[in-house]
Amino acid sequence: MFEKSLYDLIRGLRANKGNERNYMLAALKECRQEVKSQDLDTKATAILKLIYLDMFGHDMSWASFHALEVMSSPKFRQKRVGYLAAVQSFRLDTDVLMLTTNLIKKDLYSPSVPEMSLAINGLSHIVSPSLAVDLAPDLVSKLTHSSPHVRKKAIPVLYKCFLQSPELLRTCWPRLRDCLNDEDSSVVSATVNIVCELARRNPKNYLPLAPQLFKLLTDGGNNWMTIKLIKLFATLTPLEPRLIKKLVPPITNLIRTTPAMSLLYECISGLISGGLLEGIQDTAEGEDLASVCVTKLRGFLVEGDSNLKYVGLIALTKLVKTHAHLVCQHHDVVLDCIDDEDISIRYRALELVVGMVNSDSLSAIVGKLMRQLKPASREYVELEGPEESEDEDDMQEEVMNPRKHQKGGVVLLELPEDYKHAIIDRVVEMCSRNMYANISDFEWYLDVLLQLIRYSPAAPSMVDHLGDEEEEPEVVLSRRDVGEIIGRELRNVAVRVRSVRPEAVRCAEILVQGQDGVFPAAGGGGKRVLGAAGWVVGEYASLLTNPTSTFDALVHASSSSPPSDILAIYIQAAAKIYASLTGSDSVDWAPERKAYVSLLTERIVRFLEPLTTSPSLEVQERAVEFLELFRVASEAISAQPAMHDDSEQQYEPPLLLTQAVPSLFSGQELNPVAPRAQRKVPLPPRLDLDEPINPNLRALLVAADYNDSLAGEDDQEEAEFYKYYYIKPTTVPVMKQPASLGIDSAAARSLTGSYQNVSQDDYLDADILARRRRERLERNRDDPFYIFAPGEAEGVTDADLESIPVLELKLDDLTQSTTTRHHAVAEQKRERVQIAADEGIEGDDDLDFANEVRATSKKKGKKKGGLLQVDASGLVGYSLDEEKENQKDEIETQAAKREVERLRREMELAAERVAVQRRSIEELKVEKKKKKKKTKAGEGEPKLKKTKKVKPEGSTEGEVPGTAEKKKTKVKAKKGKEMEKQTVEAAP
């Protein structure tokens, strides 16, 4: 019989294109018959084919016993196939796993080194708690084997045994520690690797190894062991700060001399993560070392390798937290990484620039980022790859996934929506950091916010928010509309910075009016800013430049389309602007004013009427309340006659307009409140938040559902209600950007040169630039030192020139004045803007709130497992000192015994108290019975009730109960008298 080999199986699988499944099922059927053969060669060949088919998803766990038979073969070739099958198919719950103990133990003591290595390697994959306990002594004996190859392989397998049974670490540690002094460098490297992994779980156990590990670091060796030693010391230095001074010289020497990029990066990363740079931060040595690290990392960024750029940006991001001033010196190469064609590098560079920004570089960095969002810019990427596909598989891949461009072709690089969202979020974060500490020109910041709205990415649909609680906080943040972030900043600036409040109100007015070009043409992004803009125009209605147009925009028919939360804000804002327009009592109540107020009232009433049946309870409540108010106002306006010019009688506006309605929105000014201030407000003594407002609410709702008066109406409202709450809204398709809307190409960037040559405000639109230019001219019109650009001085007349003051120059004091002016310019400080701080109760500290928010976000974040999915929780906190561990166990045992004894005493005392209470209750019952008997005896015998007579024992029929006993007593009395007589007669 001729069996198919593995090569035959592979050839047949390739020959059956399109019919692979049937061919595999037939091969599996053949393998099931072949593994039952008594010939080990046939069995081994079948197991090898099953291993290959297992990689296609066909489970081979049913052949575990046959794999065990092949493992026991005396031939190395067959044994190797059996161990490979065990590695691929055995799990901790495999039934035959317990049968492998003696087999592996036998192979571990084989005189053949390859067989011994095969058993060690197989054990590392299939080790279980029972196998670890049984085979750990055999593995420890291999640490002294004559072959360094065996010793090197036995060390990592011991670590896998420690993971399954942590108790083995204490018994095996002395022999494992001796391997650090092994004569073979590969054995030492393997030992250092295992110690590094163990120290990540409990570094306190390995502090005594510091001198020995330091000697290995200074003696030098392979780069891999040096990297592991640096990582190991990074975990030990937080426990022993004195190691910092000892480690800085050798690590600095490695940074200056090593040509290996991997070792250089690990040295710098170890300095940062181990706290070495932070420990010597205030010393000259620390500054020099940090400067060297930043300079070396700059070399990572200027290299053409994308991997070096990526790890260099990661290291700089860690370093910027402690040495931001040094990283800022190399902001040119960091900003160049923002234009890299690799989007992952852009993300890392974006994260870095947030930490390195300051007041001087804020404007340049913001402009650099916003130029990427500008739709008019384009960037092209050159494709890489072979021009032709010569291999058959490559030709098939080309047919299935054809390339539209060949090598050397140029394609448009489109920024993903998440990256655009990240840019806007980082820009806002940089500007608002530390309560706007880096901003001196808030008008520029408001223009930036307005421009960011125009660059907003597409708004996410409702489906995108499903499952947000189980995802990373960064992912959830990227799925929000950027309009919420920008709107929050617009509201904060309007509330906190009083000097630019009119400018903030003007920006909100532009957004509410919805002028052309304010929002993106496609995608619907940025619309969530309307909520904050509506609040601003309503709260500061007196600062509006055109309140009538803003009022018309709020009550327009299209204003009913925003989401319910924004619509509720619109209702409140429209009422506030109405009060501002009609509440002045200094204007005469002329017919023109009466007609104007009547028109405004009629418009807002028509706007509110359809909203009274809105499915949103908040919108419905506000609409009903304000509708009733404005209907009353309309009646008051109609009843109040107007004052004509020829009339002698004076009429004033209705008090409802001048006093009642404005009083609803006037009072104390709203100021920012600290986040934790509300928690410190004491609750009123009689307030019960758990008590329902109306205990009969459920009954009222049930009665409202079965109202007979509503039974005959149309069911349209019910249908709208059901549609609003139970039908998922349709997803709006997002139009992709055309290829013409990209960012600057690499070729164009090379022609334009450095980013510093670009105009300062080219990232702003033309209308914003024109308005800023007009404001600047108006501000500097009377400044004699301002030099107008060509065409700007057209509005300056001769009269204006004559009015310019003339200063008298003293040439003698020219040198002195120049020096003084230079000193004055150098000492001039940046003008600070007054920013309102959060109000709170005395003693309120926002740091606790920030820490609480940070901890909550970490809890919400999804926990990430290791790449190898290795459970090392058993080694966390495990101590190598047996005496200390025993003492700890004894202390815990004694504490447990004391707790048990305390609980026992409490139970005994409770039982005694219960017994005493029971006895007292019984005594009271007895006393009550005695008292009743005494009272009965004193009052006399009560009347007997008729009861059924019961015959006593021994009584005969017809006898009265008790007569027999009376007869017996009489007989006894007679006998007693007779005895007395006899004794008297017998006496002398």
Rounded to two decimals, what is the model's pTM?
0.67
CA distances from 520 to 460, 477, 516, 534, 830 (A): 14, 20, 10, 19, 36
- 3-state helix, strand, coil split of the chain in percent (to 5) is 65, 0, 35
Q: Are strands 410-412 and 380-382 parallel, antiparallel or unpaired?
A: antiparallel
Q: What secondary structure letter does DSSP report for 381?
A: E
Q: Looking at residue 2, what is its pLDDT?
A: 55
d(Cα 952, Cα 941) in Å, to the nearest integer? 24
From the list 684, 678, 682, 677, the residue with the least C-alpha distance to 843 is 677
User: Element (H or E) spanning 382, and its range?
Assistant: strand 380-382
Q: What angle do CA 46, 47, 52 make, to 5 degrees?
A: 95
Q: For the segment 14-38, what is each residue's pLDDT rounded down to a tens digit?
A: 998 889 899 999 999 999 999 999 9
Average pLDDT over residues 244-257: 88
User: What type of residue is 632?
Assistant: V
User: Element (H or E) spanning 411, and its range?
Assistant: strand 410-412
From the list 291, 282, 214, the residue with the least C-alpha distance to 249 is 214
Q: For the segment 104-138, what is each residue's pLDDT rounded down to a tens digit?
A: 999 999 999 999 999 999 999 999 999 999 999 99
Q: Show the tokens assigned to 874.
A: 């058993």
Taking the domains of the chain in order of start, what are their residue ranges? 571-670
Q: Looking at residue 881, what is its pLDDT?
A: 62
Residue 297 scores a pLDDT above 50:
yes
Q: Roughly how many angstroms between the first and final C-alpha of the chain, as a whole number?
A: 141
Cα 731 → chain centroid: 26
Q: What are the residue ranges of helices labelled H in 812-881?
A: 814-827, 846-860
Confidence bin at 314 (pLDDT 50/70/90):
very high
d(Cα 590, Cα 587) in Å, to the nearest integer? 8
Q: Looking at residue 17, what is its pLDDT?
A: 87
Residues whose CB is less than 8 angstroms from the CB of residue 862 and which lie 6 or more positions away in sequence, other chains included: 470, 471, 472
Lowest mean pLDDT among 459-468, 589-598, 636-645: 459-468
From the list 495, 534, 499, 532, the residue with the least C-alpha distance to 513 is 534
Q: Looking at residue 704, what is its pLDDT?
A: 64
Q: For the segment 469-487, what is each residue's pLDDT rounded down to a tens digit?
A: 444 444 444 457 888 999 9
Residues whose CB is less than 8 angstroms from the CB of residue 438 and which lie 6 or more positions away in sequence, other chains included: 357, 358, 359, 362, 430, 431
Q: Can you list the positions of beta strands (E) in 32-138?
A: none
Confidence bin at 783 (pLDDT 50/70/90):
low
Residue 988 scores a pLDDT above 60:
no
Residue 815 scores a pLDDT above 90:
no
Buried b (16+ CB within 10 A) or exposed e, 12-23: ebeeeeeeeeeb
Crossing angle between the packed helical segments 417-432 and 362-373, to the nearest 10 degrees: 160
Using an 8 Å Cβ cutoff, are 834 and 442 in contact? no
Q: Looking at residue 875, what is its pLDDT?
A: 64
**% pLDDT > 70, the chain:** 70
- Please report where in the chains the tokens 């190399």 appear, as a residue: 330
Confidence bin at 791 (pLDDT 50/70/90):
low
Using an 8 Å Cβ cutoff, are 136 and 130 in contact? no
Classify residue 860 as exposed, middle or buried by CB count within 10 Å of its CB (0-12, 13-18, 19+): middle
Q: For the segment 142-158, what is each residue's pLDDT rounded down to a tens digit?
A: 999 999 999 999 999 99
Q: For the segment 861-900, what is each residue's pLDDT rounded down to a tens digit?
A: 444 443 334 566 666 656 666 666 667 777 888 888 888 8
Q: For the segment 522-536, what is each residue's pLDDT rounded down to a tens digit?
A: 667 788 899 999 999
